[in-house]
Amino acid sequence: MTNPAQTSFGIHWFRRDLRVAGNNALLHNWQKNKGRVVGVFCFDSQFLRRADFSHNRFAFFLNTLQSLQSELRAIGSDLLIVDERPDPAFRKISDYFKHHKKWNLSQVTYNRDYEPFARNRDRAIEDLLSKLNVPCDSFRDHLMIEPLELDKGKMGEYYQIYSPFAKKWFELFHSPTMQARIEEQKRGLRYLFEKKHKENLFCLSWSDLTNAQFPYQDALKQFQTENGKKVTVEIPEAGSIAVRHHLETFKSKLENYKEARDIPSQAGTSKFSLFLKNGSLTTTQIMAYYNLQKLTFKDEQGPGRFLKELVWREFYYHILYHYPLVETEAFIKKYKKIRWQNNEILFKQWCEGKTGFPIVDAGMRELNTTGWMHNRVRMIVSSFLTKDLLIDWRWGEKYFMEKLLDGDLAPNNGGWQWAASTGCDPQPYFRIFNPWLQAKKFDPEGEYIRQFVEELKDVDTKTIHDEEADRTAYGYPKPIVQHKMQKEKALKMYDVE
């Protein structure tokens, strides 16, 4: 029973929804607790010890948290960053408020996450909070349409191929419920684009709630200092102002997206993946901002093409949710038997961008020096690793996670399994990218290659693209394999039953 002398308040547990604008769970908590809501973020030491952990991506994440904390403080709320896993943290926080009776913790909210690790964690926290008698509510936020909102397909199984998935997705997308989600997000966007936010939108901070006996102090600065020492690339601007800027900047590029998206030397894509990863932006917000709600599966112009890329993202989340084994195994069972050659020297040359294939090396050097790689080049280098170097896609997947600022399990795993032809909706194994032809087609003037491969900066385009040319005189390595020969080997390697 709540003591009438107590004042109730809510906690919003931030995870990968690092924003205020249109944050579904936060909004619900705010309404229910009349603005008396504070945020908490718990670092999980297990996460920080992951083999594919990236200090660079973590720096972007910390900067996003910092921006969110400042924004929440400016509107009358607060965010506490705790150096503790969520289970002990919620136990201690709940215990504290059981003893400090002035405040009644009336609700914890969070937005759902779909990765296997997160789903287990969230179930455990729900159980814990229920035992502690703290009501806990979760919400849809990260995806436009959640995996369980799509029925099984005609074969009685969850969708495994993009096109039928996308057709079903569009059908649902046009339903009144989903269109209402877009309208809701338009309200969130109005908040995002306000010049000055109301200072008293919320009315509670952690210092109002706690005294010296409270077990936690904000750990953000400590993390930033420790992690900052290990950052190796320039970290892009993070937080809501950067999100706004990206949304505005990409507006003029949307019409031409279909043509520009495949040319790595042009800044023709949105770079939204950086923000989507940590939820400082969501796919629904993007759809609302560009008014994509009436587009159909058949729309092939810039906006239609762009929307379908967002649907690819939703598709990979759907796959990871329903088929969580993809995290560690080939989706197509027979390809678990592939005998990868896994030559460590070739792998190192690939990682360092020293393969002697200019487009591959440009991509890997872009990744190593900026934490980013263009989608077309991601496709080329992943195909090259698996089908020219005959190396297990999981090696590449892990390397990408170590380096990418937008590294995200579902699309990264999906992209790798697609390229390796081991995944759902793969490119057939016999369709093998020819890196020389890909380079000529998508970087015809060699601009992208010259930007990242220093040795070829002053070399003419013909020499850059010529498979037979000797480029060693420029200090650039000879190709470490011969594409035609490797293709034959790959075809044999994939011939498993």
Can residue 216 be called a binding residue for ligand FAD (CB under 6 A)? Answer: no
Choices 36-44, 144-152, 413-421, 472-480; region in contact with ligand FAD by CB under 6 A: 413-421
Closer residue to ligand FAD in complex, CB, 22/268: 268
Can residue 436 be called a binding residue for ligand FAD (CB under 6 A)? Answer: no
**Catalytic status, residue 375:** yes
Smallest CA-to-CA distance from 165 within 280, 313, 339 is with: 313
| Shortest distance in whole angstroms from residue 460 CB to ligand FAD | 29
Smallest CA-to-CA distance from 83 within 101, 62, 63 is with: 62
Q: Using CB under 6 A, which of 400, 433, 448, 476 touches ligand FAD?
A: 400
Q: In the β-sheet with 136-139, what is the strand arrangement from edge to edge?
A: 79-82, 37-42, 7-13, 103-111, 136-139
**Catalytic status, residue 30:** no
| Shortest distance in whole angstroms from residue 398 CB to ligand FAD | 11
**Catalytic status, residue 340:** yes
Q: Using CB under 6 A, which of 77, 240, 382, 386 touches ligand FAD?
A: 382
Apex 38 CA angle, 127 and 138, nearest 5: 35
**Per-residue binding letters, 302-341, with ligand FAD (x by CB under 6 A):** -------xx-xx--x-------------------------
Q: Please report, for residues 17, 393, 404, the alpha-carbon distance to residue 486 in angstroms, rounded to integers and kept in the order given.
A: 44, 16, 27
Taken in order 151, 157, 160, 163, the sign of the CA dihedral is: negative
Q: Using CB under 6 A, which of 353, 415, 426, 446 touches ligand FAD?
A: 415
Choices 141-149, 290-298, 358-366, 412-420; region in contact with ligand FAD by CB under 6 A: 412-420
Q: What are phi and psi of 2, to 5 degrees?
A: -80, 130
- With b for 16 or more beta-carbon neighbours within 10 A and e for fewer, the 266-280 pattern comes to eebbbebbbbbbbbb
Choices 105-113, 144-152, 210-218, 376-384; region in contact with ligand FAD by CB under 6 A: 376-384
Distance of CA 2 to the CA centre of its chain: 41
Closer residue to ligand FAD in complex, CB, 218/237: 237
**Catalytic status, residue 120:** no
**Catalytic status, residue 169:** no
Q: Please report, for residues 38, 143, 144, 191, the alpha-carbon distance to residue 285 in angstroms, rounded to integers and kept in the order given.
A: 23, 10, 9, 12
Can residue 61 be called a binding residue for ligand FAD (CB under 6 A)? Answer: no
Number of residues that bind ligand FAD (CB under 6 A): 26
Catalytic entry in 149, 375, 447, 467: 375
**Catalytic status, residue 206:** no
Please answer whether residues 30 and 202 qualify as being in contact, where contact means their C-beta atoms are separated by less than 8 angstroms: yes
Can residue 402 be called a binding residue for ligand FAD (CB under 6 A)? Answer: no
Can residue 276 be called a binding residue for ligand FAD (CB under 6 A)? Answer: yes
Write down the H helix ranges in 268-391. Answer: 273-278, 283-289, 302-322, 344-352, 358-370, 375-383
Question: Helix, strand, coil % (nearest 5) of the chain?
Answer: 55, 5, 40
| Shortest distance in whole angstroms from residue 360 CB to ligand FAD | 13
Catalytic entry in 149, 226, 309, 467: 309
Element (H, E) at 134: none
Smallest CA-to-CA distance from 446 within 433, 427, 462 is with: 462
Can residue 271 be called a binding residue for ligand FAD (CB under 6 A)? Answer: yes
Neighbours of 351 (CB within 10 A): 18
Smallest CA-to-CA distance from 202 within 80, 40, 65, 33 is with: 33
Choices 32-40, 267-275, 324-332, 452-460; region in contact with ligand FAD by CB under 6 A: 267-275
Q: Using CB under 6 A, which of 419, 424, 449, 459 touches ligand FAD?
A: 419
Which residues lie near ligand FAD (CB under 6 A)? 261, 269-273, 276, 309-310, 312-313, 316, 375, 378-379, 382, 400, 404, 406-408, 411-412, 415-416, 419
- Positions annotated as catalytic residues are 309, 312, 340, 375, 393, 416
